[in-house]
Every structure is written in C-alpha cells, then in structure tokens.
C-alpha cells in the first residue's frame, strides 16, 4: 500500500463517514471513540441461515423490491455499468445452480428467477484468501467486512465462487442520491469491496434482515443450531438445495425448490 493510500485510509476513512459493516462498526466510527454497548434486543445465533422459497419468490418483479429495500437501507450505489455494486440480485436457475438443471425438469422450475446474495458460507474461501483480515467470519456465522482494513486487492472477489462481492471502482457517493441517504448506515469509499452482511445492524437491535421482512413469508431466517428456528423448520418441511455444493463452501443460504 503506497503512502498516499495509507494516509487516506488513516485520516479519511476514520472520520465522520463510518465504514465498518454493522452497528458496532457504525458506533465505533461515528466519533467519540466509545465502544458499542450491549443491546438486550440483539438476536443471537450459532449459525444464521436463510431459506428462500423459490416457489413464491420466482420473478424479477418479485425480487426487485427486496433488492431496492436492501440497497436503499445500506446506501448501495447504483452504478450504470458492468461495475455496478450489488448486494441482492436476480439470476436464472441455470446461473444460480449450474449443476442442478437437467433437460427433463419442469419448465415452470426451469424458468424461475432466483434471488442471490452472499451465502455466508460456513467455510468461506473469501476469508481464507484475504491478506488483511478485512473480511472475516463472526462467531454467529456471518461473513462480513471491516472496510478500514480493505486494501482493495480483490483477492476475496477472486476467491468467491458465487460473484457475491462488488468492488467500488469509483467514488460510490457519486452514484447515490444524497438526499435519500440512510444516515444510520455508513457509505463506503472508492477502492473497497462490499457485499450483503445478513443485516447485522438490524440483528443487533432485534430486527430480521430487511429482505426477509419485505418477502411476505417467502424467506425464512434463523439459527441452524436451534431446531425450533424458522430456518430449521423450513429445512425440515421442504426439499432444499444450495448453490455449488461440490465446492465445499457450505452456504448458509438454502433454496426451497
Ligand atoms: S458467498 Fe462468496 S463472499 Fe459470501 S461467504 Fe461465500 S465465498 Fe465469501
Ligand atoms: S440480508 Fe440484509 S444485507 Fe443481505 S441481501 Fe438481505 S437485506 Fe441485503
């Protein structure tokens, strides 16, 4: 890292615009230097997981409002090029599950659109390849980012086999409507990677992820270690698959087919 980059990170990155994902990070970088205080509302888990019902959430029109809610909440810039930043997006069945389709499956299943996001893998290669530990796995299984530590090498993007990470090639705030910024959540800077965080900042105050809340029951969320959690119940009662299971990353996002 050159001197100007180091200088910028040290003095610009630590100022009013906080850059850590999650409420703890927001608090830590919002000035005053006081550590985040325990919140009795915080939701806890050993391994958070999401179960998405593709029978209900199966069109671009159904998925778009969830992406809009996520991106508005997290100040995700809308960059009108291939350098776009995305935390939640729609893809075809074939893109989502390249090892799943066969020529005899039902056309209805074949033509479903699938909601994609970071899988919060139990065995995340993105974490293994990050040289600065800017991306790390929390004790509750959430794979998240410390933007202060990101040097923009993009090893994590190469390491993720799901295309779940985006790089800020330019200044992200140029592609945000500053009048509509969510002032409760930090914006990022040019040269860092970002992605879905399973809404850690909402879990910390006792709320479910925004996409889960907006899904009208099409997404189940909960702790895999709790057999009474909505996620375990959905897994018990439905046929589910995960993305690219042969890679061994153990995604924490499951899909009801
Ligand atoms: S989906 Fe990609 S970015 Fe998310 S935890 Fe897995 S390897 Fe990392
Ligand atoms: S869990 Fe939160 S951050 Fe992740 S896609 Fe859903 S709304 Fe976005």
Which helix (H) or strand (E) segment holds residue 135: the answer is strand 135-137
CA distances from 50 to 85, 94, 225 (A): 22, 20, 13
The string of pLDDT tens digits covering residues 84-95 is 999 999 999 999
Q: What is the DSSP string of 72-133?
A: HHTT----SSTT---SEEEEEHHHH-TTS--TTS-HHHHT-EEEEE----SS-HHHHH-SS-
Average pLDDT over residues 150-168: 98
The string of pLDDT tens digits covering residues 169-215 is 999 999 999 999 999 999 999 999 999 999 999 999 999 999 999 99
Q: From the CB of 209, is ligand 2 less than 6 Å away?
A: yes
Q: What are phi and psi for residue 95, nearest 5 degrees?
A: -65, -40
The string of pLDDT tens digits covering residues 116-154 is 999 999 999 999 999 999 999 999 999 999 999 999 999
What is the residue with the minimal CA distance to atom 7 of ligand 1? Answer: 160
Average pLDDT across the chain, whole number = 88
- Distance between Cα 137 and ligand 1 center (Å): 10
**Do β-strands 253-256 and 48-53 pair in parallel, antiparallel, or remain unpaired?**
parallel
What is the residue with the minimal CA distance to atom 3 of ligand 2? Answer: 196
pLDDT value of position 62: 98
What is the residue with the minimal CA distance to atom 2 of ligand 1? Answer: 160
Look up residue 63 and give its two tokens.
Answer: 């998925």
Q: From the CB of 164, is ligand 1 less than 6 Å away?
A: yes
CA distances from 178 to 92, 170, 210, 227, 248 (A): 32, 16, 21, 43, 41
- Distance between Cα 47 and ligand 1 center (Å): 15
pLDDT over 70 at 35, yes or no: no
As beta bridge partners, residue 109 has none
Provide the pLDDT confidence category of residue 36 given band limits of 50, 70 and 90. Answer: low
CA distances from 51 to 16, 59, 210 (A): 36, 17, 14
* Mutation to probe ligand 1, out of 50, 120, 154 (largest number of atoms < 8 A from CB): 120
The string of pLDDT tens digits covering residues 187-200 is 999 999 999 999 99
Give 216's DSSP letter.
T
pLDDT value of position 16: 32
Average pLDDT over residues 30-56: 80
Cα 172 to chain centroid distance, Å, stands at 17
Average pLDDT over residues 44-64: 98
Q: What b/e readout covers 59-69, taking b as 16+ CB neighbours within 10 angstroms?
A: eeebbeebbeb
pLDDT over 80 at 28, yes or no: no
* Mutation to probe ligand 1, out of 162, 196, 255 (largest number of atoms < 8 A from CB): 162
Distance CA 170, CA 134 (A): 19
What is the residue with the minimal CA distance to atom 8 of ligand 2? Answer: 70
Counting Cβ atoms within 10 Å, is residue 200 exposed (0-12), middle (13-18) or buried (19+)? buried
């Amino acid at each position: 890292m050159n001197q100007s980059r180091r200088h910028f990170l040290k003095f610009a990155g630590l100022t009013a615009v906080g850059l850590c994902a999650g409420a703890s990070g927001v608090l830590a970088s919002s000035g005053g230097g006081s550590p985040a205080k325990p919140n009795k509302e915080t939701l806890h888990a050993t391994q958070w997981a999401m179960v998405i019902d593709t029978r209900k959430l199966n069109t671009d029109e159904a998925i778009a409002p969830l992406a809009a809610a996520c991106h508005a909440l997290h100040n995700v810039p809308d960059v009108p090029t291939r350098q776009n930043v995305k935390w939640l997006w729609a893809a075809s069945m074939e893109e989502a599950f390249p090892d799943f389709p066969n020529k005899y499956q039902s056309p209805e299943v074949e033509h479903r659109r699938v909601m994609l996001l970071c899988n919060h893998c139990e065995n995340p290669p993105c974490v293994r390849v990050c040289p600065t530990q800017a991306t790390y796995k929390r004790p509750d299984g959430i794979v998240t980012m410390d933007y202060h530590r990101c040097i923009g090498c993009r090893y994590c993007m190469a390491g993720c086999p799901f295309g779940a990470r985006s790089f800020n090639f330019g200044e992200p705030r140029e592609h945000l409507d500053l009048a509509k910024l969510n002032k409760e959540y930090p914006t990022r800077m040019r040269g860092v990677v970002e992605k879905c965080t399973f809404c850690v900042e909402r879990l910390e105050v006792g709320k479910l992820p925004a996409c889960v809340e907006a899904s009208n029951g099409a997404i189940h969320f909960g702790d895999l270690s709790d057999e009474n959690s909505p996620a375990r119940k959905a897994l018990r009662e439905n046929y589910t698959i995960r993305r690219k299971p042969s890679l061994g990353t153990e995604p924490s996002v499951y899909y009801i087919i």
